[in-house]
Amino acid sequence: MKKLTKFIPLFLMTAMSAFAAEKKALLVVSSNSPKIKAEKVKEFKSLCEGKLSAKLVSVVDWDDAIANSEVKVVANDASVLAKARQVQAPLIIKVALSDLSETVKTISKSDQHDLSGSISLFKLSSSVSVSKSADGASLYGGVVAATDRIAVSKTLEMQTSNRLYSLFNQLAESVAKIVETKWNDSLGVKLESDLATFKVNTNVPGVTVKIDGLVAPQSNGSLQAAKGIHKLSVEREWFKTFEGTVFVSEGGTIDVTLEMTQEGLAKYKSVENLKLALKREDQQIDLDRQSAEAKIEIAKEQSKAEAESKVLEAEGKKSFLEKSKVSIEGEINELNIGDDRDDDDDKDAVNQIINVTK
């Protein structure tokens, strides 16, 4: 496997920049949710640009396009259409981040089982539209949702802060796929994927890899990014951040050695001691995750058993009432002692009832 450990010379970067994608789209992103602030909108736009760039689409951001305008420009249909034509972008992509919600189902503590924790369902709904700048014709319009579900315990609560990035990443991927399909169907141009799968090998686990300032999603130890030149940074607590310029190609491997900070050396003494501490921490997190999932399953089974018990109890009460009703009606039908009878007649009538009962 080819190893890429050297920085790309400046002249090579300049030469390769000539191969920029010819396909172009104007991207307009807004937020209608008070939970999604301006800095988060910027983060989502960067993810969209990365996903679209992987499909060879050059993105012009609306805010950048109007940055030099002498007057304030509102992003309405007319102004967006005019700006798209001005920057020669065949497609207009609009994304309105409309609703961010979290639904939490809490598992209460039981007398018989030590049950605690909750399940959180995160959902991000957005309206997405794709249209042609030539005539304003709509190619796509609809609501696109991204969801993420996680079992939360005391140890895993810190993971919920990363949910928004995960939702943004899903939504950006959906937008890129919509653009890829509509461009191919409507404009007659096939967008070929330009993603490369590569690896970053480090001397410590648990690093955060960023490509062009954005966290690169990992799958089975591999990363994906658009082929070509990128700024790479590798971060890890207690270590100095590595930064460099690399060329990403399919199947490539980038070797990075991180150095401990003075604080890291004071706390762990060596990289090996840190690895042992991280291993114990991962084991504890894994045990907590298994415990949370097991408690959820126990709660489900307990709820099922309680429901079945209530059904049986209700059926038993119903059967008892039916039998009691028949017995009472039988006694009323048999017992018919009038005031006109003498004592002997009354005794005979009572004896008849007793015989019938026996």
Q: Does the residue 163 lie in any domain? A: no
Whether residue 205 lies inside any domain: the answer is: yes
Stated as kind and residue range, the H or E segment containing 328 is helix 271-334
Q: Which residue has the tokens 């209608």?
A: 32
Q: What is the pLDDT along the chain (358 residues), one digit of tens a residue?
A: 444 434 444 333 433 333 333 588 999 999 888 888 888 899 899 999 989 988 888 899 998 888 876 667 778 888 888 888 888 888 899 999 988 887 877 665 544 444 456 777 788 889 999 998 888 888 899 998 888 777 665 544 444 446 788 888 899 999 999 988 887 776 655 444 567 889 999 998 888 998 888 787 676 778 887 778 888 999 998 999 999 998 888 889 999 999 999 998 998 888 898 888 888 877 888 788 888 888 787 877 777 777 777 777 777 777 777 666 554 444 444 444 444 445 555 555 545 544 444 4
19 occurs within a structural domain: no
Residue at token pair 């089974």: 301
What distances in angstroms separate CA 35 from CA 66, 99, 124, 241, 305, one per listed residue?
A: 25, 8, 11, 31, 40
CATH number at residue 233: 2.60.40.1120
pLDDT at 256: 93
Q: What is the pLDDT of residue 112?
A: 43
Q: Quick check: helix, strand or coil at residue 269?
A: coil
Residue 252 lies in a domain: yes
108 occurs within a structural domain? no
Residue 261: CB partners within 8 Å, gap ≥ 6? Answer: 238, 239, 240
Does 242 reside within a domain? yes
Domain that holds residue 253: 194-259
**Residue 219 domain-assigned?**
yes
Overall domain count for the chain: 1
Complete edge-to-edge strand list for the sheet that includes strand 195-202: 218-219, 222-226, 195-202, 253-256
The answer to whether the pTM exceeds 0.75 is no
141 domain-assigned? no
